[in-house]
Structure 1
Amino acid sequence: MITNTEVAKRGNQHPDHIVDFRQENDKMYFTTQNGVILQVTILRDSVVRFRYATEYVFEPDFSYAISEDVNLGYNELTVEEEIPEYVIITSKIKIYINKANLKVQIVDMDDVILTEDELGFHWEENFDFGGNVVKMSKVCHSGESYYGMGDKASHTNLKGKRVNNWVTDSYAYGKDQEPLYKSIPFYIGLKENIAYGIFFDNSFSTYFDFAAEKRNVTSFWADGGEMNYYFFYGPRMQEVVESYTDLTGVPELPPLWALGFHQSKWSYYPEQKVKDIASKFRKLNIPCDAIYLDIDYMDGFRCFTWNKQYFPNPKKMIEEMEDDGFKVITMIDPGIKIDRDYWVYQQAMDNGFFCRRADGPHFKGKVWPGECKFPDFTNPRVREWWADLYKEMIADLGASGVWNDMNEPAVMEVPSKTANLDVRHDYDGHPCSHRKAHNVYGMQMVRATYEGVKKFMFPRRPFVLTRAAYAGTQRYCATWTGDNVATWEHLWIANVQMQRLCMSGYSFAGSDIGGFAEQPNGELFARWMQLAVFHPFCRVHSSGDHGDQEPWSFGDEITNIVREFIELRYQLMPYLYTMFYNYIKEGFPMLQSLVFYDQEDYQTHFRTDEFIFGKQMLVCPVQEPNAQGRRMYFPKGKWYNYWTDELVEGGVERWVSAEIHRIPLFVKEGGMIPKYPVQQYVGEKEIEKLAIDVYFKEGTERSEVYEDQQEGYDYKKGRYSLRRFKLTGKENELIIQQFKDGNFITPYNKFKMTFHGLPFTIETVELDNEEVDLNDIKLNGNNSIEVGKDFTELHIFGK
């Protein structure tokens, strides 16, 4: 990795004084004597883009990261020229551009400095490859912290760390190892309880130094391309993350079954083995919605083929699996076996779809089938062809989803683990080398896969999974954190990776439960499952060379614990689905680190273990063997112990009992948690009543439940149900108001409300200002009632 010092030694160039300024609507251009142009674009009052050109020339403006649906528009924009600087003013921030050296300082409307350039923009010519190494350095203020950056296997607070974004097949990676499988060059800065964000949209290998080399300097640089970054002003972390997520996009709602439990292994074959696994789930009453087929289902690892010896009739098998409530997910890799009798290979050859080296020959690399060639997924014609290849898999045979692996791209038996840097790519009409296209290669592969699966799944919703990703890949698919290891350290890593990915705009994520490499013992597997049922994507996957890793592989005690927690996930399905709805509607992350939840509490700035699940549940995994409990920090508010109903005051660290069958799990007071009955798979049972756990609060709290048909696209036409609840608790009263939106009619007609922490005995109940007979609502002591789902106000009186 290039260090700051090495870059400095090699002859940095810097902008000198400004000689020209012009404005074109939302864009301002500042030109220096030595040919640097700074383009400042106001996207919103709190979102600003900075682009730097050298030699007076900008590169073509193109990015795979930016969503077509990004919200644009601002309330105020003025530019003032003063003696030392230009000042750009919006309704949220002021941007100072120094006339002498083009350095930038951004302050809020109270003149509090948010970020300021140290050396600012500087560059050096890259004599090996041409173009520039572009670099930006900013002042790191005292007490400043940094978060985000995707799947980094390090402390949630990146202060003092240096990271590299170069999408890499990192088998059995360790804590703090760099680089990993994803490139998400976005971070959140937090200083003096004010949050801002920076997204460095550059697909070359990028580097970030968070005050590691110099304690007062934070910097980021790239091996090529432009210095092109976006600044997001909060002042809340929530606003920063939502703005970044709006810029880079969100997925569509997944089918509800995709949020269920999934089981995978390298590999389940032949067909009878797949059926046996499925049968055992149902026999043991362990809920499961999907079984995965790894590379061994293929004929000689050739993508889009089937090994007829192992799977003589895949369509019939998939139909039988579907009848038992299982979706089948198939693996597809990017490497296409060199075989003139292989139809996919021949089509790509005939159409010129494979990547070529600089001097013309096709790029070749060894993967599972042996020598392979690789489609150029940055070419829109290739993506269209690739999408159509899924017709047989999805439309004809009935698979329900696709899993793209090895798409960094991973190449075996070469030191770089990937394609040669001189490989050429179309880059959607902006031809380039692999140096620029590498980090987006997997993203564009999974984009093509998504488009194909969506096309052939219609009118059902697609499910796609990827290992490699660049910023914005969340628009197309779920992701997982790659080839982890069955160790307690990796349980810790999985926890921080999920928090970090969610903060980085990528909420639909999970880890290989129990570890991919090596073998967990029963305790580790149980503890991992207890954590992973609170991750948006929930899948067991293992390398298979060390034994079985199904829920029943570790004895009856562990099987019973695992079953209970998978059942809990299925009970929480409407809560989880509502979390996903909030993610796609608001950009609100499905999991939040404690610092995201309460950035004003300095204690949260360095917490790694605890996180908020949705908006009203607090989770803290047990991450050490033989533990009977653990210490954990409770953020602001009051929290009910999910298992005991004990109420805990926030703002303190305390011991929580958590023997092997329990995980510390708490519910925010005032929360209303919707639940479905336990199902063996999504859609198995008609929901007759929506259960809602109501946690009393003296004061007000808001909750909501989003539901739709769980499949298809009618929800986009208004066929959804969104119920917003306002709970108000008083000394001897509880008022629940309901506000409904959408025209989807849910299958149930009643709520069963179970009360927790009610400080009074229920005496009378009014529904929409009319008293009801307590027998009609099936009052169960002081514990629960049943009411019709369409009330506007429920008023409970007690003594």
Structure 2
Amino acid sequence: MKKSPNLIFHILFLLLLISPSVFSWKKDEFRNCNQTPFCKRARSRKPGACNLIATEVSISDDGDLIAKLIPKTQENNESQDAPVEVDSKPLLLTVSVYQDGILRLKIDEEQSLNPPKKRFEVPDVILDEFLSKKLYLQWLSEEKIDNDLGFSSVVYLDGDYEGVLRHDPFEVFVRERGNGKRVLSINSNGLFDFEQLREKKEGDDWEERFRSHTDTTPYGPQSISFDVSFFGADIVSGIPEHATSLALKPTSGPGVEDGFSEPYRLFNLDVFEYIDESPFGLYGSIPFMISHGKARGSSGFFWLNAAEMQIDVFGTGWNAGQDKIMMPVDEKRIDTLWMSEAGVVDAFFFVGPGPKDVIRQYTSVTGRPAMPQLFSTAYHQCRWNYRDEEDVFDVDSKFDEHDIPYDVLWLDIDHTDGRRYFTWDKVLFPNPEEMQNKLAAKGRHMVTIVDPHIKRDDNYYIHKEASDNGYYIKDASNRDFDGWCWSGSSSYTDMVNPHIRSWWADKFSYGNYVGSTPSLYVWNDMNEPSVFNGPELTMPRDALHFGGIEHRELHNVYGYYFHMATSNGLVKRGNGKDRPFVLSRAFFPGTQRYGAVWTGDNTAEWEHLRVSVPMLLTLGLTGISFSGADVGGFFGNPEPDLLVRWYQLGAYYPFFRAHAHQDTKRREPWLFGERNTELIREAIHTRYMFLPYFYTLFREANMTGTPVIRPLWMEFPAEEETFSNDEAFMVGNSLLVQGVYTQRAKHVSVYLPGEQSWYDLRSGAAYKGGKRHKFEALEDSVPAFQRAGTIIPRKDRFRRSSTQMGTDPYTLVIALNSSKEAEGELYIDDGKSFEFENGAYIHRHFKFSNGKLTSSNAAPSGAGGNKFSTDCTVERIILLGLSPAPKSALIEPANQKVGIEMGPLTIRHGNSPSFLTIRKPKVRIEDDWTIKIL
């Protein structure tokens, strides 16, 4: 009997559900630039192709610089050699200026000319607080630039910078005041193009086809492309997510590396077993790029656009032989080409000049990272899937048996009733509340998965409500979109609609999510969105959202809205008292306000261990501090050496979680022999020891945007050797960590930057900065060093979870520099509520100088310390780099004298070398005090 195509597909789909590993990455499942019409068109343009000039330039009533962009005609084009775009209408350009030296450029179709529809502008990303910092623009002057025939408009940006709108040829750039040196520019190479919406006429064939899918493109081509130049730049970084180096490699021009002839793609996709060293786009998209150079420092560029984007990084000499370039050809810069399928130009220029300045400026627009709950910064144990309640309790008890702490146990899709989210399999998990409460009694938590695909089952209450109320995304024929994912036939809630997001948030209440408790948190997977039978395994571009918006216009922001709604649901569940924890796979600018992300379906390979570092560093540079990679690799079975090295490095990830595919062998830490269990235990203990330091760094990120883990060049911006180093990273400003990325490595080469020394975390030995060192690759740790001149807070006692460490005393490790000085900070709050926003926290500043250690309040005047208190004390003070050895110290104001003795650097290594230790000084961590070395 001949089977129907639909039946065949259903059979194949069931086979995929049985054996999901067949979904491994296949290049031909995804489009390349030549198969993507807007990318192919944009890449074919030559320098100087832009035919637009700025006219009718003025200051609006709102204090913006406004102008119209019109094509040159034979009357206003003296050379008469540029093409005339007869069908184009004037575009409206707006330049706005904000505090902290931020310039915003918007270009859109002029609404008074009645385009077929309003182009999509991404809402809910830019902070209202930022919009309130808009300045009334000051027009400084008109001047001629580079022998132009006409004038350019110069506006005030801040005390050090100016914005310039060049009228003819059209260009926008930021320059330094006084010397006129450019910082950032748009259209300096004349590659700007804006395809305007059109009404379809008889004979127009706008359909685009890829494999078996057809995109109707009802408004015709609507792409935008332009070049952006970063001046004084040695490297550019950013635009995650790609599994490649931190310093972005050229994708166009002479000498492009193999595999990098495609642009960097920003299009959220479900990519199984992705490959490393590729510009291929993965699960999230952040169109923000940061440059850095030894001479000038850093600058940044952000394009708020949620459509598919492709970005070329041009190599040196890419435009050789071209004569239509609007800037001096010998000026040092990196040129890039930004291409998007739809949307508007809504771009932000960040002038820096330091890398932390750029990140502060960018996160002032999109939001600072959320302050996480303390437990979520500890170790997480996950697998697809822990089978049942018995399996959960067995894993939990084994952690205690092997003296390994953990804070969170995760459940994947098979804990549900037939993959219906917000439900439990009544056979496998008959008592979910009791299960969670037993874990909570040990200070532990649970996370369950909630994906966006809703099983189309009329007996499933979520589907029935969404279907009855019209809450689903529609297909091009305006019917509920029906796609396939883990639940089978599924529909997807339209999270663009604020009302639907609110409805979704209500589903996390204890009454709606039956079986949930206050210790249960959430994981959003597959929210790109993933559609197994869709084009490129995602939603068709002509699907329709709230307000008639096509999916092509907002694809990259869908997962962001799903994450937002889930996070808001957990806040509502707790009546606004407790911070949420939600992990998301898809992300977009602003995601940092709602929770953590991870790098998706990596593989148990050494190359994936190595590439995890630049991937996480890039996320941090683009605002997302709370990120991690699956320890051990999601796919495959890591050999013990790789697994141990991954734990040792993962202990320093901001988000520290082990995770594995259901087809892999079980790999809990105690399954690889006694010695490997010991090594993994030690790695996890290291994370718990440094939790006070990590939590302090999360607060710094929450206040300033500065990431928890950082490229070396962020702390050492003038050292060129750090620019291409993405195998080592800084944890805050005090720790440097170098991974071990080869099997059975004997030695590791580590570059220690700066002029001061570095102290080995295990031995305490000092090593000179500003040079490369060769170290033995010890099996018990990866190389890690404390920077001279810093003070790091720790907690050294063994506990089952971070919750049980709450009243434990602190250890302060003081690493003195050549001036015998050091500084550090400690931030403490209740670890879970929003009360820190009302001043309920402790923020201490430690300083060692002139033989004295002082503790003082670092909170702003009137904030901190008055609403939160702790009885925690300082248990030990370790001094590195102090000689000759003193015998005692005086504690003030207690006027108490204590002895100084030799003690181990860490109590976890009984045979470690001894160092100067002040034991039990009996000072409270929240008090002001001084300890003077006698």
Q: 1:7 aligned to 20, 42, 54, which one? A: 42
Q: Deviations over 1:329-355 (max 9, x none)?
A: 100111111111111111111111111
- Residues 418 and 749 of structure 1: is their aligned pair in 2 closer, same or farther, counting only changes over 3 Å? same
Partner of 1:180: 282
Q: Which residues of 2 match residues 291-690 of structure 1 at below 5 A?
A: 291-392=409-510, 397-398=516-517, 399-426=519-546, 430-458=547-575, 459-636=577-754, 637-676=756-795, 677-690=797-810
Q: How far, CA to CA, are the matches of 2:275 and 2:62 in structure 1?
A: 49
Post-superposition offset of 1:81: 1.9
> Which of 91, 94, 102 is the equivalent residue of 1:39?
94
Checking the alignment, whether the CA contact within 8 Å between 2:57 and 2:65 is kept in structure 1 is no
What is the letter of the counterpart of residue 30 of structure 1? A
Structure 1 counterpart of 2:115 = none
Query: Within 1, Cα distance between the matches of 2:381 and 2:529?
Result: 25
Give the Cα–Cα distance (whole angstroms) in 2 for the partners of residues 452 and 654 of structure 1.
50
Match of 1:85 in 2: 152
Question: 1:198 aligns to what?
Answer: 301
Q: Which amino acid aligns with 2:873?
A: N
Q: Contact 1:19–1:33 at 8 Å: present in 2 too?
A: no
**One-letter identity of the residue aligned with 1:773:** K
Residues 1:143 and 1:313: Cα distance change in structure 2 (over 3 Å): closer
Structure 1 SS opposite 2:804: coil
Instruction: Measure, in 2, the Cα distance between the counterparts of 1:42 and 1:378.
Output: 29
Letter in structure 1 aligned against 2:308: S
Q: Which residue type is aligned with residue 203 of structure 1?
A: A
Cα pair 2:422 2:514 within 8 Å, conserved:
no
Query: Is residue 208 of structure 1 aligned with residue 311 of structure 2?
Result: yes
User: What are the Cα deviations for residues 512-555 of structure 1, in whole angstroms up to 9, with x where unaligned?
Assistant: 11000111011101101111110111111100212112111221
Give deviations 1:274-308, integer Å, cap 9, x for gaps. Answer: 11111111111110111001011111111111110
Q: Using the TM superposition, give the Cα deviation of residue 385 of structure 1 relative to its aligned residue in structure 2, in angstroms.
A: 1.3
Would the aligned equivalents of 2:710 and 2:729 in 1 still touch at CA under 8 Å?
Answer: yes
Separation in 2 of the partners of 1:534 and 1:41? 40
Q: Distance in 2 between matches of 1:543 and 1:61?
A: 38
Residue range with higher mean Cα deviation, 680-689 or 619-628: 680-689
Equivalent pair of 1:197/1:232 in contact (CA under 8 Å): yes
Of 157, 165, 173, 1:105 maps to 173
Matches within 5 A, 1:201-280: 201-212=304-315, 215=318, 217-280=335-398
Question: Deviations along 1:348-379, whole A, 9 cap, x unmatched?
Answer: 11111111112122111111121111111111
Measured after TM superposition, the shift of residue 326 of structure 1 is 2.2
| Counterpart for residue 269 of structure 2 | 168
**Which residue, 148, 172, 178 being the options, matches 2:238?**
148
CA distance in 2, matches of 1:255, 1:625: 36
Could you say if the C-alpha distance between residues 418 and 33 of structure 1 is closer, same or farther in structure 2, counting changes exceeding 3 Å? Answer: closer
**Which amino acid counterpart does residue 572 of structure 2 have in structure 1?**
K
Tell whether the 8 Å contact from 1:18 to 1:102 is kept in structure 2 after alignment.
Answer: no
Q: Cα 1:588–1:322, aligned 2, differ >3 Å: closer, same or farther?
A: same
In the TM superposition, residue 697 of structure 1 has moved relative to its aligned partner by 2.2
Rounded Cα–Cα distance in structure 2 between residues aligned with 1:369 and 1:15: 50
CA contact (8 A) 2:250 2:314 kept: yes
- Structure 1's 169 and 597: CA in aligned 2 closer, same or farther, altered over 3 A? same
CA distance in 2, matches of 1:277, 1:121: 57
Over aligned residues, Cα RMSD in angstroms? Answer: 2.4
Contact residue 278 and residue 326 of structure 1 kept, 8 A: no
- Helix, strand or coil at the partner of 1:262: strand
Q: Are 1:69 and 1:249, in contact at CA under 8 Å, matched by a contact in 2?
A: no
Quote the offset at 1:720 in angstroms.
0.6
Larger displacement relative to structure 2 (766-775 or 709-718): 766-775
Which residue of 1 is the match for residue 189 of structure 2? 118
Structure 1 unaligned runs (5+)? none
The CA deviation string for residues 152-210 of structure 1, in whole angstroms up to 9 with x for no partner, is 21111014143111000011001133110001110102243321000111100011111
Aligned residues: 791
CA distance in 2, matches of 1:486, 1:164: 24
Q: Equivalents in 2 of 1:327, 1:472: separation in Å?
A: 26
Aligned residue type for 1:695: A
Q: Distance in 2 between matches of 1:260 and 1:619?
A: 18
Deviation of the 1:320 alpha carbon: 1.5
Match of 1:693 among 813, 826, 839: 813
Deviation at 1:148, TM superposition (A): 1.3
1:622 is displaced (CA, Å) by 0.5
Pick which of 644-653 and 746-755 moved more: 746-755
Q: Relative to structure 1, is the Cα distance of residues 40 and 120 closer, same or farther in structure 2, using a 3 angstrom cutoff? A: farther
2:930 equivalent in structure 1: 794
Q: Does 1:64 align with 2:124?
A: yes
Paired residues of 1:165 and 1:184 also in contact (CA < 8 A): yes
Q: Secondary structure at the match of 1:469?
A: coil
Q: Are 2:95 and 2:104, in contact at CA under 8 Å, matched by a contact in 1? A: yes
Give the equivalent residue in structure 2 for 1:783: 917
Higher normalized strand content (fraction of residues): 1
SS of residue matched to 1:662: coil
1:11-30 counterparts in 2 under 5 A?
Answer: 14-30=51-67
Change (3 A) 1:686 1:346: closer
CA contact (8 A) 1:153 1:493 kept: yes
Report the CA distance between 1:138 and its aligned residue. 3.1
| SS in structure 2 at match of 1:24 | coil
Query: What letter corresponds to residue 160 of structure 2 in structure 1?
Result: K
Which runs of 5 or more structure 2 residues have no equivalent in the other structure? 1-31, 72-89, 113-117, 145-150, 198-205, 208-216, 252-262, 320-334, 904-914
Whether the 8 Å CA contact 2:240–2:266 is kept in 1: the answer is: no
Higher radius of gyration, 1 or 2: 2
Q: For residues 550-590 of structure 1, give each alpha carbon's deviation from its aligned partner in whole angstroms, at most 9, with x where no partner exists.
A: 11122111111110111111111110100000000111111
Aligned-pair CA distance for 1:120: 5.2
Tell me the amino acid that sits aligned with residue 705 of structure 1: L
- What is the distance in 2 between the residues matched to 1:680 and 1:286? 7
Q: Is the 8 A contact 2:814 2:822 kept in 1?
A: no
Distance 1:368 1:61 in 2: 32
Which letter does structure 1 place at the counterpart of 2:667?
A: Q
The answer as to whether partners of 2:758 and 2:787 remain within 8 angstroms in 1 is yes
- Cα distance in 1, alignment partners of residues 137 and 826 from structure 2: 36
Q: Separation in 2 of the partners of 1:69 and 1:327?
A: 34
8 Å contact from structure 1 (residues 21, 31) kept in 2: no
The CA distance in 2 between the partners of 1:185 and 1:349, in whole Å, is: 34
Of 514-523 and 459-468, more deviation after overlay is shown by 459-468
Letter in 1 for 2:106: R
Q: Secondary structure at the residue paired with 2:664? A: coil
Q: Distance in 1 between matches of 2:918 and 2:664?
A: 48
Q: Deviations over 1:80-111 (max 9, x none)?
A: 22242111122231122112122122212242
Report the identity percentage: 28
Moved more, 613-622 or 711-720: 711-720
Q: CA deviation at 1:757?
A: 1.9
What letter is aligned with 1:646?
A
Retained in 2: the 8 A contact 1:768–1:792? no
Contact 1:645–1:757 at 8 Å: present in 2 too? Answer: no
Distance apart, 1:727 and its partner CA: 2.3
Q: Tell me how far apart the structure 2 counterparts of residues 167 and 524 of structure 1 sit (CA, whole Å).
A: 29
- In 2, Cα distance between equivalents of 1:571 and 1:360: 55
